């Protein structure tokens, strides 16, 4: 009985040691499992956060609207070039500007602002103030050409020349201003080439080139811009086309297509 009891005790002691060893082993395994689980959850959390941040950035970028100012040249008493007894340059530029606005209204990321949406006179200084207040991503001023004889034809695109640096400015200020001006001119030239291609498709072999010039409308403003002379009112064939609502709409569609490509 005693031996049996002792054996029983010994067995109990061995079992306790065994249980303790197993428990310790299981505890260590459990700790490792929990540690690995936490690592996995941490990595998953970081991945999800990165995805959300990336998604938010895409949404913000998608929602950001590009502001495009279309300047319909002349207006009111300032008639511009006369095409016939009733129609002048101011009427053609306004019609095409309105067509462009209508065409780009379908685009979620482009907001078109017109310097005028009716036949009213706005002087150069007021147009500048309007542009400075809006701070557009791009400006296009529409005009109709004239002169150089009755056979002169085609379209011309002007982009602004860089202003001279002010002497006496610190190097850092000069460098920053130079970077900004280079960007504005590069964007202007990029848009000029895009619109040249778009108009070449509409009027083959009618491009008269890209020209760098001082643009009075952008004087003193930091804005990428172009001035577009669409056709010659003094050329009988082009005058007839400009008076056609279909041609006006075709020009607007070509320009709108180019603008969409630029902001893509």
State the pLDDT at residue 36. Answer: 64
Prediction pTM value:
0.75
Residue boundaries of the structural domains of the chain: 1-64, 65-263
- Please list, in sequence order, all residues whose beta carbon lies within 8 angstroms of the beta carbon of residue 128, skipping any fewer than 6 positions away: 217, 218, 219, 220, 221
State the pLDDT at residue 34. Answer: 59
Which regions in the chain score pLDDT beneath 50?
Answer: 1-17, 53, 55-61, 166-167
Q: How far apart are CA 196 and CA 211, in angstroms?
A: 11
State the pLDDT at residue 175. Answer: 78
> Alpha helices of the chain — where are they, by DSSP H?
2-63, 89-104, 124-134, 171-202, 236-242, 245-263
CATH code of the region 65-263 = 3.40.630.40
Q: How far apart are CA 36 and CA 41, in angstroms?
A: 9
Instruction: For residue 101, give the nearest of 92, 114, 91 by alpha carbon.
Output: 114
Q: How far apart are CA 252 and CA 4, in angstroms?
A: 108
State the pLDDT at residue 64. Answer: 81
State the pLDDT at residue 177. Answer: 81
């Amino acid at each position: 009985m005693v031996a049996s009891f002792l054996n029983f005790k010994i067995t109990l002691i061995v079992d306790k040691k065994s249980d303790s060893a197993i428990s310790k082993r299981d505890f260590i395994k459990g700790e490792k499992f929990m540690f690995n689980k936490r690592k996995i959850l941490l990595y998953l959390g970081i991945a999800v956060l990165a995805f959300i941040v990336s998604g938010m950035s895409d949404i913000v970028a998608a929602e950001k609207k590009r502001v495009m100012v279309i300047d319909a040249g002349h207006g009111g008493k300032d008639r511009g070039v006369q095409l016939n007894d009733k129609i002048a340059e101011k009427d053609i530029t306004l019609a095409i500007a309105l067509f462009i606005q209508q065409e780009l209204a379908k685009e979620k990321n482009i907001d078109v602002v017109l310097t005028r949406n009716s036949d009213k006179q706005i002087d150069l200084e007021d147009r500048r103030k309007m542009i400075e207040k809006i701070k557009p991503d791009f400006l296009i001023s529409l005009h109709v050409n004239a002169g150089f004889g009755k056979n002169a034809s085609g379209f011309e695109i002007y982009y602004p020349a860089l202003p001279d640096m002010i002497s006496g400015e610190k190097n850092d200020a000069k460098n920053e201003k130079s970077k900004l001006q280079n960007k504005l001119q590069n964007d202007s030239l990029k848009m000029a080439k895009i619109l040249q291609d778009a108009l070449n498709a509409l009027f083959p072999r009618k491009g008269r080139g890209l020209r760098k010039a001082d643009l009075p409308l952008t004087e003193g403003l930091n804005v990428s811009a172009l001035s577009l002379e669409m056709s010659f009112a003094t050329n009988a064939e082009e005058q007839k086309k400009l008076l056609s609502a279909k041609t006006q709409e075709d020009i607007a569609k070509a320009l709108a297509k180019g603008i969409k490509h630029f902001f893509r």
